[in-house]
Structure 1
Amino acid sequence: MSDTLLQRRALAGGGWLLLAFVAGGILVWGANRTGLMPGVETDTGPIATTAPARKVLYYRNPMGQADTSPVPKKDEMGMDYIPVYADEAAAPAAMPGQRKVLYYRNPMGQPDISPVPKQDEMGMDYIPVYADDADPARVTLSPQRIQLLGVTTAPATAEPLWLKVRANGRFAVDERRQVTVTAKYAGWVEKLPVNTTGQTVTAGQTLLETYSPELIAAQQEYLIARDNQGRLPLQTAPAGGRRMTLTEGALQRLRFLDVPERVVQQLAQRGTVLRTLPLAAPLSGIVLQKSVMQGMRFNAGDPLYTLADLSRIWLLAEVYEQDLAAVRVGQSVAVQVNAYPGEAFTGQVAFVYPTLNANTRTVPVRIELDNPALRLKPEMFATVTLQVALETPALPSVPESALIDSGRRQLVLVAQGAGRFAPREVVVAGRGETARGERRVQIRAGLLPDEQVVTRANFLLDSESNLRAALGALQPAASAAQHGGQ
């Protein structure tokens, strides 16, 4: 082929290339003039486009972290945040019977929501919040999660409840059945029949025999007065009436010195002075204390014995001040003693002391018990249980574990079916126990009979409910902030 022919073909190829380049420029210019290529500027400025602009709701973290921004920004690595458009966030229309999703919240409880499904930095799916959850504090759980948390429920029932007051105490001697034996004269102990502490004595039994010059003089005075009674004239009393004879006066002195009547009769029959006279027990009981010894001299008024009748005994129980309103005189109480496990004794409230112990914040309550076999000993410890029926047995009650008491308000979690649980504020009327021994709380207002309440894992659900309520309050504010940035 000749050089002339090659030159002609090269010129023809270049012509076709030039023609294609010119045609492409014309197409670009025409598209700019007709608005087919938005964002391309001409020498006269940007050309208006007819296609509507996509609305940006917010910008999300390019690495999938739980972080959004209402305006464009970059992360710490310099990567641009990804825009989320309104047409992308629009959820498809719910089919009949399907629940409408309002938004998705962070699975770890962080204050972060998303209008579209997403995952947190750990790969956990965000939890949907549905429109039919009208109560922002309501919690909805799947059956698997209910089983995992161990959630249990129980109905609110109206049944009689008793308030049980428990207190500790110790046994003490009945002060009205305790005496101190003394003599009204001075003397010496000649014989000591009752010579041990703890010995049982009966009323009138001789405790000791004493020699006393005062008693001998009183006996001699009586015998002299009796022998000379017929020789001495009996004058009329100044105020009228009969005057006491010397013999009667001597007998009265012996009786005032607590000489037993049988000894007085023996003196009258024998007509001779008795060297020693007995000192008798004034009551039947136990010798709690003995202060005399054989041959000891004593003075008038010295304590010789302390006797106590333990057939009836006191129990001094320390009742806390918050339980004091339930204690009434005459109430029956159950008493348990460590010395006799499994055996119950019955007593009665006899007296509530008017003073309070500032250190223990307790008030002594006196309980009286029969103790015929003397099994209950003074200073033994005992546990007291006092049972009082609550005044309003018709009110519904729930197990004590169902009540959430924050100090400022009291709540229960009501099961609404289909895995839904909602908190409800209630007014507590009182606390007590059933006949089965179950501790329950009476509800005065806020709960109806037969409503199911959560009795286990309720603190976890309450935390979840508080989080839901907080997120419900934050969601409108977050939406307003996102829309305000546009």
Structure 2
Amino acid sequence: MKATDLIPRTPAGRAAVLAILASGAIGFGVARLTETAPPATSSADSGKGKPLYWYDPMVPTQHFDQPGKSPFMDMQLIPKYADAGGGAAGSAPGVNIDPAATQTLGLRTIAVRRGELASGVTATGTIDFNQRDVAIVQARAGGFVQRVYARAPGDVIGAGAPLADILVPEWAGAQAEYLAVRRTGNAALAQASRQRLTLLGMPAGTIAAVERGGRPHNVVTVSTPTGGAIKTLGVRSGMTVTAGQTLAEVNGLGTVWLNAAVPEAIAGQLKPGQSAQATLAAYAGETFSGRVSAILPDVQPDSRTLTVRIELPNRGGRLKPGMFATVSFGGSPQTALLVPTEALIRTGKRTLVMLALDKGRYRPAEVQTGREAGDDTEILAGLNEGEKIVASGQFLIDSEASLSGVEARPIGNAAPVVATKATAALYETVGRIERLTATSVTLSHQPVPAIGWPAMTMTFALPDAGVARGLKTGDRVRFGFDQPPAGPTVRRMAKVSGQ
């Protein structure tokens, strides 16, 4: 029988054979991902000393003191040695990746860098009336409505627009008395009688008309003190009104509010007085500028958002309450420690990155993230500038690290920046400026685990005043310092968000 006779003659048969060969190749590639030795049956055979513990690769977080069968899977427990993970004895934990597999998997590393992160925040909102620009029109005296001027709720009217003519019988007698007193020539009595007309609620224009015409005017035209949209209208022809009764409510349209829903996670970046730009579907390609007038104190429980109120000028009344808008909040870029967003591994409980160590070794590290802008994410803690991380393919390494039981580096154990010939080693932490002079800065800072410092308040030297340019007392900053013979010296300092 020839070898060619074993190849199926039908297309379906040939496809099945190819699938079997492909699965074998995949298994071979996965087997080469990490440089691991076959599980040792005893510590004497392994040559690695006594195991630290035994574990099930499917449940690497559960450790056992003795070898045996896994209670979780039908397999033997695997020993864990002090130098496991491909590193030399005494080295930091991690996993080794075959250099050939690194290229095959397309692993790409990138250095943690310091750069400018745009502080812009984008949200959506709706246009609403400016509730500070409301006029209430009331009847000044009891009477009867003789005429209305065909107004309706929702109408847009100008300032001084008439609403209704009201007959006030009480005013006729008071005005006749005033005219009679004026004819006596007694100035004091005339002034007292005129004051009585004012106290009865007569507008100054009505009193002036009585004086000019010399006859009573007991029909008054009620008009609006300001222009805008009629929100409520409670006056109709023939009805009786009483003193103080609300006849209409008019809301001005010179400015409007844009109520934007901002997630509470980023609301701390906003403050009253900050500039904002809005775009509306009704006016494509046009931008409306305004400022944040208030951040309302309550959080919407269903959406976990805060309402940020922006006041916008409304020239020509083009912005209508109820319109939908997209708003972006401006702000100057801030210096921050940045990594590509694609490099983050979000587990739900924490966020990890995969550190690229020396000699093809990798280790997960826990990080605390801040703002995001574009393709970059701010790192608040857990990494230092210059450390290398995996930007693509990190999920495969993370899976192998989990199976090998490699623990992630905690946030507090981030290594300091390695010294070079050009620059001294810098230690980084976050603090608050308590006092600032031209030559020194006093900071209340967080712990510095790399050199064993606890959280405390201390004074650092400032060799260059430009390091603190734009900063002031009370600012929260991330700073890097070294320890020359003259004492701790701040070499760089940048303001961070979240004050």
Query: TM-score, structure 1 length as denominator?
Result: 0.59
Q: Secondary structure at the match of 2:221?
A: strand
Residue equivalent to 1:36: none
1:203 matched to 2:203? The reply is: no
- Aligned partner of residue 175 in structure 1, secondary structure: coil
- The reply on whether 1:422 has 2:362 as its aligned counterpart is yes
DSSP-derived class of the 1:171 partner:
strand
> Equivalences for 1:346-425 in 2 at 5 Å?
346-388=289-331, 393=335, 395-406=336-347, 410-415=351-356, 420=360, 422-425=362-365
Matches within 5 A, 1:436-447: 437-447=374-384
The CA deviation at 1:228 is 2.6
Which residue pairs with 2:372 in the alignment?
Answer: 432
Aligned mate of 2:114, from 146, 150, 158: 158
Cα deviation for residue 281 of structure 1 reads 1.4
The DSSP-based 3-state class of the residue aligned with 1:160 is strand
Query: Deviation string for 1:187-213 (max 9, x for gaps)?
Result: 222222352333333333322222121
Q: SS state of the match for residue 264, structure 1?
A: helix
Q: Structure 1 residues 390 and 141 mapped into 2: Cα distance closer, same or farther (>3 Å)?
A: farther
| Structure 2 CA distance for partners of 1:129 and 1:402, relative to 1, 3 Å | closer
In 1, the alpha carbon distance for the partners of 2:377 and 2:121 equals 15
1:390–1:432 CA contact under 8 A, matched in 2: no
Correspondence 1:463 to 2:399: yes
1:12 corresponding residue in structure 2: none
Q: CA deviation at 1:141?
A: 4.1
Task: From the superposition, tell whether residues 454 and 261 of structure 1 become closer, same or farther in structure 2 (CA, over 3 Å).
Answer: same
Q: Which digits, 9 at most, give the CA deviation of each residue in 1:83-128, with x for residues without a partner? A: xx98xx99xxxxxxxxxxxxxxxxx9899xxxxxxxxxxxxxxxx9
Q: Secondary structure at the match of 2:318?
A: coil
Q: Which residue is 1:140 aligned to?
A: 97
Supply the distance in 2 between the matched residues of 1:259 and 1:138 (Cα, whole angstroms).
91
1:404 to partner: Cα distance: 2.7
2:262 counterpart residue number: 319
2:268 matches 1:328: no
Name the CA shift for 1:371/1:439 in 2 (closer, same or farther; >3 Å): farther
Paired residues of 2:85 and 2:95 also in contact (CA < 8 A): no
CA distance in 2, matches of 1:294, 1:247: 36
Query: What is the one-letter code of the residue matched to 2:151?
Result: N
Once the two structures are superposed, residues 386-407 of structure 1 have per-residue CA deviations (whole angstroms, 9 ceiling, x without a partner) of 345576x1x4310122123446
Partners of 1:131 and 1:455 in 2: how far apart? Answer: 22
Maintained 8 Å contact 1:156/1:397: yes
Equivalent residues of 1:259, 1:279 under 8 A apart: no
- C-alpha distance in structure 2 between counterparts of 1:181 and 1:381, whole Å: 31
- Which entry has the higher C-alpha Rg, 1 or 2? 1
Task: Give aligned pairs, total.
Answer: 337
Query: 1:18-33 maps to which residues of 2 (within 5 A)?
Result: none
How far did 1:374 drift? 1.6
Q: Say whether the 8 Å CA contact 2:141–2:243 is kept in structure 1.
A: yes
Name the CA distance, whole Å, in 2 between partners of 1:321 and 1:131. 43
Q: Provide the rounded CA distance (Å) in 1 between the counterparts of 2:39 and 2:382.
A: 44
Note closer, same or farther for the CA distance 1:457–1:252 as it changes in structure 2 (3 Å cut).
Answer: farther
The corresponding residue for 1:26 is none
Q: Deviations over 1:258-280 (max 9, x none)?
A: 54433332221211123522112
Q: CA deviation at 1:307?
A: 0.7
Post-superposition offset of 1:217: 2.5
State how far apart, in whole Å, the 2-side matches of 1:247 and 1:358 are: 64
| Structure 2 partner of 1:308 | 251
Does the Cα contact within 8 Å between 1:397 and 1:440 map onto a contact in 2? yes
SS at match of 2:317: coil
* Cα displacement (A) at 1:178: 0.6
Q: CA RMSD in A?
A: 3.7
TM-score using structure 2 length: 0.58
Q: Which amino acid aligns with 2:355?
A: V
In structure 1, runs of 5+ residues without a counterpart are 1-65, 71-84, 91-107, 112-127, 235-244, 472-486
Q: Which amino acid aligns with 1:138?
A: V
Distance 1:459 1:223, change over 3 A: same
Name the residue aligned to 2:221.
278
Q: Give the alignment of 1:218-297 within 5 angstroms.
A: 218-230=174-186, 245-297=188-240
Contact 2:353 2:367 in 1 (8 A): no
Question: Which runs of no fewer than 5 residues in structure 2 stay unpaired?
Answer: 1-37, 48-56, 61-83, 408-499
Cα 1:153–1:341 change in 2 (3 A) is: farther
Report the equivalent of 2:465.
none
Q: Which whole-Å CA distance do the structure 2 matches of 1:287 and 1:293 have between them?
A: 15
CA distance in 1: counterparts of 2:146 and 2:85, whole angstroms: 100
Does the 8 Å contact 1:398/1:443 carry over to 2?
Answer: no
User: 1:67 offset after TM fit, Å?
Assistant: 9.0
- Deviations 1:429-461 (CA, angstroms, capped at 9, x unpaired): 62232xxx3342235453333x54322331222
The answer to whether the 8 Å contact 2:85/2:404 transfers is no
